[in-house]
Amino acid sequence: MQLQFVGCGDAFGSGGRANTCFHLRGAAANLLIDCGASSLPALQRLGIVRNDIDLILITHFHGDHFAGLPFFLLDAQFSRRTRPLVIAGPDGVEARLVQVMEALFENSSKTKQKFELSVIALRPEQTRTFGTIAVTPYRVMHGESGGPFLAYRIEAEGRVIAYSADTEWTDTLIPLGCGADLFIAEAYTYDKLVKNHLSLATLESHLSAITPKRLILTHLSDDMLERRDACAHEVAQDGMIVSI
């Protein structure tokens, strides 16, 4: 199984990075985790076959994690996709998807797709199975608007992948990432405290309780990028492929 960082940037594209989008692929699994505004061109640039993707997990409704969906769905329609697609995310995902589609492409939400599209709301700490993939959402803390906010623990093909999403520290990150084969965690700043976001220093203070087998940092601001040489952990790069 492998995960590719299609985009690992923040909302401002710090360091020229694309918005958040991860592609997880295995013998049977083929999914995206988040689909930020710049995801479609990034997927095309990396040669990822969009119509083979079965599932898109959305963590929250901010544009750098969610606003790529209208482009993805429009591309699917015009490329004559026939494979069913599931989009799953926090409560309200179906209404939010309609809103963003209408905002970007008027009447697009009313177009009948040539493929079966299912939009599913996930509940915190209730595991949902999609084929061979088991997804357990955890509620995280990222402000008042653009939520609810979910992090994901994904079990597929004997591996566990956890993703913190955007969040300040919350104790739910411990069961989320505990013992995961890969824990992808936000490290928005180095040690500066920014409301609704996670600093590397805060994350490091809790790592002994999480004990992931592998940690990769994502969603870095300019503050963190300027100090990444002082970081002892792996840092995501757009296009980077990780074997799990």
Residue 19 lies in a domain: yes
Q: pLDDT value at position 112?
A: 87
Looking at the 3D structure of the chain, how many domains does it have?
A: 1
The answer as to whether 167 is a domain residue is yes
Q: How do residues 23-66 score in pLDDT, each as one tens digit?
A: 999 999 999 999 999 999 999 999 999 999 999 999 999 999 99
List, in order, residues 6 or more apart from 124 with CB less than 8 Å away: 137, 138, 139, 148, 150
Residue 240 in domain: no
Residue with tokens 């898109």: 56
137-163 confidence digits (pLDDT tens): 999 999 989 999 999 999 999 999 999
Report how far residue 163's alpha carbon sits from residue 24's, in angstroms, rounded to the nearest whole number: 12
Tell how far CA 186 is from the center of its chain: 11
Q: Would residue 242 count as lying in a domain?
A: no
**At 196, which CATH number?**
3.60.15.10
Give the range of the structural domain holding residue 51, as residue numbers without chain letter.
2-231
237 inside domain = no
What's the rounded Cα separation, in Å, for the pair 152 and 164? 7
Instruction: Give the pLDDT band of residue 21 (cuts 50, 70, 90).
Output: very high
pLDDT of residue 76 exceeding 90:
yes
Would the pLDDT of 175 be above 90?
A: yes
